[in-house]
Chains A and B, each alone.
Chain A
Amino acid sequence: MERVDARGLSCPEPVILTRKALLGGAKEYEVLVDNVTSRENVTRFAEHAGYTVRVSEKDGEYTLSLKK
């Protein structure tokens, strides 16, 4: 599973990094973000790109599991 570590980055950077990773065409990704805006934006982008997104949260950090 490919991993995108976007913790500490502000939008739109997490979405740009996710978009870049998705160009690889893998079925599963894990995206790490640490703010709600990035969580929302990456989720919206991934869903538009045809992935289902599952979110888990720990200590203010979010792990977004993207699956196609």
Chain B
Amino acid sequence: MSKSGKFDIIIAGLIIGVIASLLVLFGNPANMGFCIACFIRDTAGALGLHQAPPVQYIRPEIIGIILGSFAIALAKGEFSPKGGSAPLTRFAIGFCVMIGCLMFLGCPFRMIIRLGGGDLNALLGIAGFVLGILTGVFFLNKGYSLKRTYKLAATEGGIMPAVSVVLLVLLIAAPAFIHFTQPEGGPGAKHAAIAISLIAGAIVGILAQRTRLCMAGGLRDVVLFHDFRLISGFCAIFCACLVMNLILTAATSGTYFHLGFTGQAIAHTDGLWNLLGMYVVGFGAILLGGCPLRQLVLSGEGNTDSAMAVLGLLVGAAFCHNFGLASSGEGPTANGKIAVVICICVLAVIASVNTFAKNDS
């Protein structure tokens, strides 16, 4: 199982990396074929949860990932509605993770994609991400746990897929109360055709569900168990992205690879805050048991705890733009810096309480 398992995840990672680069060719923002954080943020904007006109669009990739995971989990008998493992704590961690993501301007998935596009600022992000994961692993080794989940009714597990269908209807019907970034109005206006994005998301959702792909789990498993399976998927995505971006740059008139720190798309060059933002994301992802992509996939499988984390990401994104916490290409904001420091403290408290406080599991 282990050898074929590793082979499967490398193939999946390569396919996902190629899809991510192609989505940019088809219209997504540069170095943003996929970004779970940015896409949830855009969706929050489209629903009117925040009022930042440049980033408002119901991203079909998010819908596709949840529905792809849901469909394959059903087909493979792995759809398993469950929950009850510290749902509000998971909401709070998800909220913090989004603040970290929008400090850096990307989730761990986009961090790899950015590096594959030559954005060296991602290296600082990776450094912070690694430190955050190591912090989380420290608590795991000391006994950190959000306690057990319990089986729930099928209807409960079906809510996230149902909400995804509603979002798809809203996207296609485009009623007046849904906000979309105006053409040339910002990253929200840049997107591939709905069908392309939806299918791409579904493929990624299916592959990620089957392989258990997780950006944070990779390094965690290497450190904890000397298990290189998940991290090989992480590396495969980077390799595929890099090669595809070089090919696209050579074969088209566009620039898909630009090596350096400055002049990168939807990124800033403040190394310290890139590092600290992704520190929050790495730490939070370990406390949640998976990165934002993994949370989406699990929510499609019927895991309502992960659905709570996704809702935390959604509300966190709204707060980021309502309170000026999100960075821009100009750099981080003062409010964002304060929020990241607060998030580090909150995560440390959550980790400590759920590691050292003695209570029944």
Footprint of B on A, CB under 8 Å? 7-13, 15-16, 19, 35-37, 40, 43-45, 47-48, 60
Task: Name 9 extra pairs, CB < 8 A, besides A9-B148, A44-B227.
Answer: A8-B147, A9-B145, A12-B221, A12-B289, A19-B224, A37-B212, A40-B5, A43-B1, A60-B80
- Which residue of A10, A16, A35, A48 is within 8 Å of B85 (Cβ)? A10
Interchain CB contact under 8 A, A44 and B224: no
What A residues does B2 contact at CB under 8 A? 44, 47-48
Interchain CB contact under 8 A, B85 and A8: yes
Interchain CB contact under 8 A, A10 and B149: yes
Q: What 4 A-B pairs have minimum CB-CB distances, sorted nearest first?
A: A8-B148, A10-B289, A8-B149, A44-B2
What B residues does A60 contact at CB under 8 A? 80, 151
- How many chain B residues sit at the interface, stated as a range, is 20 to 34
Looking at the assembled complex, report how far the CB atom of B188 sits from the nearest CB atom of chain A, in whole angstroms.
34
B136-156 vs A: 1/0 string, CB under 8 Å?
000011000101111100000
Bound Cα distance from A58 to B324, whole angstroms: 51
Interchain CB contact under 8 A, A16 and B140: yes
Bound Cα distance from A19 to B223, whole angstroms: 13
Interchain CB contact under 8 A, A12 and B148: no
Q: Does B78 make an interface contact (CB < 8 A)?
A: yes
Cross-chain pairs A/B with CB under 8 angstroms, 27 sampled: A8-B147, A8-B148, A8-B150, A9-B145, A9-B148, A10-B149, A11-B212, A11-B217, A12-B217, A12-B225, A15-B224, A15-B225, A16-B140, A19-B224, A36-B78, A40-B5, A40-B212, A43-B1, A44-B1, A44-B2, A44-B5, A44-B227, A44-B229, A45-B227, A48-B2, A48-B227, A60-B151
Bound Cα distance from A36 to B301, whole angstroms: 12
Bound Cα distance from A12 to B149, whole angstroms: 14
B198-231 vs A: 1/0 string, CB under 8 Å?
0000000000000010000100110011110100
Known contacts A40-B1, A44-B1, A12 near B140 by CB under 8 Å: yes
What B residues does A8 contact at CB under 8 A? 82, 85, 147-150
Interchain CB contact under 8 A, B5 and A45: no
Interchain CB contact under 8 A, A16 and B149: no
Bound Cα distance from A43 to B80, whole angstroms: 20
